[in-house]
Amino acid sequence: MPQLDLAHLARDLSRIHDAVITGGSPPEQPRALVARSWERMLRLGLDPSGGNRRVLSAEADVESRRRGSKLRLIIDELKAILLRMPDAATFILVVTDAEGVILWRDGASAAQRQADSLGFVEGAHWSESVVGTNAIGTALAEEAPVQLFSAEHFETSQHPWYCSAVPVHDPCDGRLLGVVDISGPALTLHPAVQSLVTTAVRLAEARLSLNQQEQLSSLRNRMSTVLNGSRGPALVVDDDGWVAYRQGVQSQDRIEVPVPDRTILIPGAGLCVPEKVTGGWLLRPSADIGSQQVSVVLRQTARSAVLEIDSSTDPFVVPLTPRRAQILAAITSAGPAGISAGDLSLKLYGDADHQVTVRAEVSRLRRSIGALLATQPYRWAEGVSARFDETASASS
């Protein structure tokens, strides 16, 4: 794209921006994506002149976010791909987490110095609600690749820039990991930048998938040797709950993420205690859990409700809030067929409009009682026998 065209486009966009921000009639409408974002910014009351307060995380927080991010596994690969482009001498590469916090920044020294004056630095929060319409924040808000040029940014202080951002997802479960962005002087924008960032992200996601398969394979080989000769049921999973190895058990490809000292129900093995191993977890029945069959009893009175869980040798009791007791009562009444989120919403709230709330409540409940509850639809898991304490119900 010739530089003259970019300069002309920048002037046109500036006129559109000024008219929209001041409530006037623009010479033409901004792109739909830009219009949606500007409308969000105006509703938030952000300052288009660039006076919005920057939010900067402490260095220790940034380092903690880096350690906890899977993007650390591909940052070197992203740099190798994008910072070796012919135009790399004019732009910077920025990688954020899913909240828009900049975890890594690298690239042209001159562009980095300009970025410093904008607060476009490691640790800075670049969500829309903090710095207005920008490729990173808008990509997070739209959950899609975004390229912004010059006055398409909400803040006038960002108008000298172009930004091309692409969200990165975990290929294993689709979870948003963050955003990869290239930013540079507006009049140096190359028409291929967006496609190059997209390609780099796709290659990085493929690398993440390969990394996981390699780690699962290593965990499988190591633990199958450890468990060789043992007769009891066992399941080995990685730190995210993906199954690496099964022995005498049935399970899906992924279970809930194990937590120390909290039992997990595994079909064919019953309640299992997670044991931390290098690269993951080993789950198998312990001597004090025993049976593969689990019996649960919902006891409810006018004043309290509890769930009694009996795994034959080690029964325990979980106190329930009234809402959680209602949820478990509805699931128990539904029987093996289970109950959908819509039907559960109808029972709890009288309509089917609270499914998001229902899912959140069941998710919190499952954190309390482990995988005794299955999902899609909601039901007691295989191997769980559930009943009401009719005596308690009658006395209430």
Q: Which residue type, as a one-letter code, is found at position 221? A: N
In a domain, 216, yes or no: no
In a domain, 234, yes or no: yes
In this structure, the answer to whether residues 100 and 157 fall within a common structural domain is yes
Which domain range does residue 315 map to?
290-395
Q: How far out from the chain centre does Cα 147 lie?
A: 23
CA dist 291 and 270 (Å) reads 6
In this structure, the answer to whether residues 203 and 275 fall within a common structural domain is no
In a domain, 222, yes or no: no
In a domain, 218, yes or no: no
- What pLDDT is attached to residue 289? 42
In a domain, 114, yes or no: yes
In this structure, the answer to whether residues 277 and 185 fall within a common structural domain is no
- What pLDDT is attached to residue 391? 59
In this structure, the answer to whether residues 256 and 134 fall within a common structural domain is no
In this structure, the answer to whether residues 272 and 348 fall within a common structural domain is no
- What pLDDT is attached to residue 309? 75
In this structure, the answer to whether residues 124 and 163 fall within a common structural domain is yes
- What pLDDT is attached to residue 321? 87
In this structure, the answer to whether residues 188 and 247 fall within a common structural domain is no
CA dist 309 and 227 (Å) reads 29
- Using alpha carbons only, give the angle 187, 192, 194 rounded to the nearest 5 degrees: 90
Tokens of 357: 């709330």
In this structure, the answer to whether residues 204 and 234 fall within a common structural domain is no
The domain boundary residue, chosen from 183, 210, 237: 210
Q: How many CB atoms lie within 10 A of CB 239?
A: 13
Q: Residue 284: what are its φ and ψ, rounded to 5°?
A: -155, 155
CA dist 15 and 28 (Å) reads 9
In a domain, 295, yes or no: yes
pTM (2 decimals)? Answer: 0.72
Full pLDDT tens readout for the chain, 396 residues? 444 589 999 999 999 999 999 999 999 999 999 999 999 999 999 999 988 999 999 999 999 999 999 999 999 999 999 998 877 889 999 999 999 999 999 999 999 999 999 999 999 999 999 999 999 999 999 999 999 999 999 999 999 999 999 999 999 888 999 999 999 999 999 889 999 999 999 999 999 999 999 999 999 999 999 898 887 888 999 999 999 999 888 777 888 888 887 777 776 677 788 899 999 999 988 654 444 567 888 888 877 888 887 754 445 677 888 889 999 999 999 998 999 999 999 999 999 889 999 998 888 887 777 667 888 899 987 778 888 885 555 444
Determine contact, residues 265/285, Cβ cutoff 8 Å: no
Report the phi/psi class of residue 288: left, alpha or beta, with left for phi > 0 and alpha for psi in -120 to 50.
Answer: alpha
In a domain, 219, yes or no: no
In this structure, the answer to whether residues 191 and 251 fall within a common structural domain is no
In this structure, the answer to whether residues 269 and 308 fall within a common structural domain is no
CA dist 76 and 105 (Å) reads 12
Count of domains forming the chain:
3
Termini Cα distance of the chain: 77
In this structure, the answer to whether residues 195 and 135 fall within a common structural domain is yes
- What pLDDT is attached to residue 1? 40
In a domain, 217, yes or no: no
